[in-house]
Amino acid sequence: MSKELFLTATSTDVGKTFTAVLIVKKFRGNGLNAGYYKTALNGAENIK
CB 20 within 8 A of CB 8: no
Does the predicted TM-score (pTM) go above 0.75? no
* pLDDT exceeds cutoff 90 at 41: no
Active site residues: 38
9-30 tens-digit pLDDT: 888 788 888 999 999 999 999 9
Q: Which residues, 6 or more positions from 9, have their beta carbon under 8 angstroms from its beta carbon?
A: 15, 16
**pLDDT at residue 1 in the model:** 66
Residue burial 8-47, b: 16+ Cβ < 10 Å; e: rest: eeeeeeeeeeeeeeeeeeeeeeeeeeeeeeeeeeeeeeee
